[in-house]
Amino acid sequence: MTVNLLGLTREELTEFFVSLGEKPFRAKQVMKWIHQLGVDDFTQMTDVTKLLREKLTDLAKVAVPKLLSEQISTDGTKKWLLELTPGNAIETVFIPEDDRGTLCVSSQVGCALACTFCSTGRQGFNRNLTTAEIIGQIWWAYKALGKNPKGERVISNVVLMGMGEPLLNYDAVINTLSILLDDHAYGLSRRRVTLSTSGVIPALKRLQEQMPVALAVSLHAPNDSLRDVLVPINQKYPLHQLMEACRSYVSAGPRDFITFEYVMLKNVNDSDQHAKELIELVKDIPCKFNLIPFNPFPGSGYETSSSERIHQFKSQLVEQGYIVTIRKTRGDDIDAACGQLAGKVIDKSRRHEKFIEIQQ
């Protein structure tokens, strides 16, 4: 059975080469070829001995996802549908900005958390991605996008905000972070890698201890009764536990704040009272807010808050000294916006029915 080197950390690659009777430094060489130069053919690795190239051809591979389709939005956002194995595909999105290029990657096929406003959650959970499958999205995008006229990588930031809850695929995600941060691979700083979680507290604590990167928390509600419905994992890890974990994380993270993501749902979580509750909830946590206009999808049962309501909500937070951004909707014409990945699916979660019952 051949080994896919794409998903091995430097430590794992070192062990692999030592097992072949090779010097440990070969790991650094091969990492650079694979991740920095985008080479998947061992015969092209010219500073590796011919004998080792032959060994690698027999014993190893660099296997990346297969491109099924590419869509390009009118705003420049690109979405790739990548096949992992027959019947299992994920979506990866590149968002160009004036000062950066952000790649949004998936960590699971589907999602088990079933947040009621997220179309990915409606399709249910299929399986976790391997490290190679997560890194494969990055490898593919780096090669597809290349460098700008200045010779700089087009991708400057990576966010684990695609399909799935990263902290429910902890081991593969930690190895992915190790490769992303490795100077012999992608060499990104911890500030340029963001992990978004809905609040898997035990894994969040492990992340803080093992490999803290920039953190975004999918909050979406200021009290437990509402969040229990919108973000059902709150029933297991309620807000007081999540806030305690966030306070602790700030001390170890590469940024001195947490980003709280808050999707704006008309007449659900967008009132002045909700804003007041939110301010009280986070009062002792250094944080910023990212307000996300809801991106509709068929059968969601939700509507987007009006622009006026969103700006009023923002004003209340700003008046208390918080930095607040309203996320610009990107790629919605190709279903690449927040919460839309793999959106045209049958609802397997039935969570929205529970919400409708509560509303009645």
Catalytic machinery residues = 91, 338
Burial class of 305 by CB neighbour count within 10 A (0 to 12, 13 to 18, 19+): buried
* The pairing of beta strand 60-61 with beta strand 3-4: parallel
CA dist 195 and 212 (Å) reads 9
CA dist 13 and 33 (Å) reads 13
At 153, phi and psi to the nearest 5?
-60, 135
CA distances for 277 relative to 115, 240, 269, 291, 354, angstroms: 21, 13, 10, 15, 23
Rounded to whole angstroms, the Cα distance separating 97 from 76 reads 9
Q: Which two tokens stand for residue 95?
A: 């968002």
User: In degrees rounded to 5, what are phi and psi of residue 107?
Assistant: -120, -10
Which tokens in the block code for residue 281? 């909830």
CA–CA separation, 183 vs 293, rounded Å? 37
Alpha helices by DSSP H, listed for the chain, are: 10-19, 26-31, 50-59, 119-122, 131-145, 170-181, 201-210, 224-230, 239-250, 272-281, 307-319, 351-359
Amino acid at 170: Y
